[in-house]
A and B are shown apart, each in its own frame.
Chain A
């Protein structure tokens, strides 16, 4: 497997890292959880950014805060890659577009792909969710059972990132949109 250090990927996709942290922050705000410090992006080899917030015993709030980036980044990423998918559809009919439109589409696609690639919660996020909910005996068992698979999913995705799962997802979303609009099979790399 072709390995690129994680921090380098973070640097290259820094808009997505910023959105990831904003996702946590927004989820905290929705849940009325106090946020003490937010670092949207930093040149650090360990972590690209962080959100320091108060702990909560509410499992649903914990779940939402953990999955906040996934929701925000996926939504925003999908919006941002939509133009490029439309552009491909348009081009698949043999039509040509002005260069500025193509450039704008690809620029937004970069932002969109960055968001999508950073959509998945980190294993650190999973650790917090595991400790605050799954391991917390004060929380009813059935809730812990419900939340546990969400923790497992994050860990699985973290493992899959070794096989570039985050980028497969990030590059796959625009292709999926293209396929749904144009009814054509995706072309994968040739489209980019």
Chain B
């Protein structure tokens, strides 16, 4: 019949989907309920075009991005290998500089590199480690703050950095606490005080500073060196604190410099040089240490050898304690009196005060050795 499906079995049921054709009993499915056409129609994959387009677009975008990132990574890797080589070279140079006593210059080299390559976290980490090793916490804080982000650090690095940050915070907290002690002195009129009162005040300041050494919140080295610097008039007592400070990287170079000066004053140059050597291992460019080295050479009569050192520290820190004295003495010892007068005039402009015996020296009343070695006076 026209318009009717031919069916093998008489009296067969109509397709339950279209209701127009007979159920396909030859499909092989005993539970069949559709005609062949309906089965063919509903077995087709009918996915809307917009969906196919969206999925295809997303997959293509993902593939394109992966290719882009992979090629960017390859370029970065090739360029990175060269950069890594350059970085490794620079790091080796910096390490050699640091080992030869030029720790500040070494860190300065790393700082320059980081200014040109601010995203180089590895170099920033190396710089931080070096700064922490030599007790140059200002540099470490600078590297961490400017070049290291927690986001790009591994867990191990974050743990390491947290340890550094704790130490740096202790260092700055100690500086602030000591400063607070000295700020309290500004209101005291020392001229109206008797010697006993001054001594009592000195002891109280010293004790307050020494209290910081008992508290784990503070940096012991900084507290000991401050106690030796500001609170102790007795040289033996100062030496005791300096010896303790020499065990801490934050204060060791300065403490070694002071201890070298102490030994030089007693005429023991070999001991003084030992302290210089020990200090140079941590920071050979420390002003106090370099000045101590120059004065030892001057006391030994090696004026030419002392000149580049005294010149350098004067160019870097002309107002630092005894720096202008050392340079002027060096110039006097070499007979460069015009230049010495120039230094004295410049010092007068900044209210820098030379030691009393400095004038005795330039007036020819004492020798350079006598100026630097007390015991022989």
Contacts and interface: CB of A to CB of B under 8 A. Distances in A.
B58 A82 contact: no
B155 A92 contact: no
B62 A82 contact: yes
B122 A90 contact: no
A105 interface: yes
B56 to A, nearest CB: 11
Contacts of A76: 55, 58-59
B51 A40 contact: yes
Nearest to A78: B62
Interface in A7-58: 18-19, 22, 25-26, 29, 32-36, 38, 40, 54, 57
Contacts of B73: 86, 89-90
Contacts of B66: 82-83, 86
Given A86-B70, A87-B69, A94-B122, A108 B61 contact: yes
Interface string A86-116: 1101111111110001001100100110000
Given A18-B51, A80-B58, A86-B69, A190 B150 contact: yes
A92 B70 CA distance: 14
Contacts, number: 88
A146 interface: no
B244 interface: no
B42 interface: yes
Given A25-B45, A34-B42, A108 B121 contact: no
Contacts of B232: none
A5 interface: no
Interface string B68-95: 1110110010001000000000000000
Interface string A54-88: 10010000000000000000001001101100110
Contacts of B59: 76, 79-80
A184 interface: yes
B152 interface: yes
Given A29-B45, A93-B80, A95-B76, A105 B65 contact: yes
Nearest to A184: B154
B43 A83 contact: no
A2 B342 CA distance: 77
A94 B65 CA distance: 19
Contact-size category for A: 35 or more
A111 B43 contact: no
Nearest to B69: A86
A104 B65 contact: yes
B43 A34 contact: yes
Nearest to A182: B154
A125 B48 CA distance: 23
Contacts of A95: 72, 76, 80, 119
Contacts of A96: 119
Contacts of A93: 76, 80
Contacts of A57: 31
A35 B151 contact: no
A94 B120 contact: yes
Nearest to B61: A108
Contact of A97 (B63, B72, B154): B72
Contact of A101 (B46, B62, B68, B119): B68
A140 B150 CA distance: 58
Contacts of B42: 34-36, 54
Contact of A108 (B58, B80, B122): B58
B65 A101 contact: yes
Contact of A83 (B46, B65, B76, B155): B65
A185 B156 CA distance: 10
A90 B61 contact: no
A22 B51 contact: yes
B359 to A, nearest CB: 58
B45 A94 contact: no
Most buried by A among B45, B46, B69, B72: B69
Given A90-B73, A97-B72, A83 B62 contact: yes
A35 B72 contact: no
A19 B59 CA distance: 13
B51 A83 contact: no
Given A83-B69, A86-B69, A104 B61 contact: yes
Contacts of A36: 17, 42
A76 B66 CA distance: 14
A32 B62 contact: no
A173 to B, nearest CB: 14
Nearest to B68: A101
Contacts of A190: 150-151
A-B residue pairs, 9 tightest by C-beta: A34-B42, A83-B65, A86-B69, A29-B45, A94-B119, A94-B121, A95-B76, A79-B62, A80-B62
5 contacts: A18-B51, A22-B55, A33-B43, A83-B69, A108-B58
Interface of A: 18-19, 22, 25-26, 29, 32-36, 38, 40, 54, 57, 76, 79-80, 82-83, 86-87, 89-97, 101, 104-105, 108, 111-112, 184-185, 187, 190-191
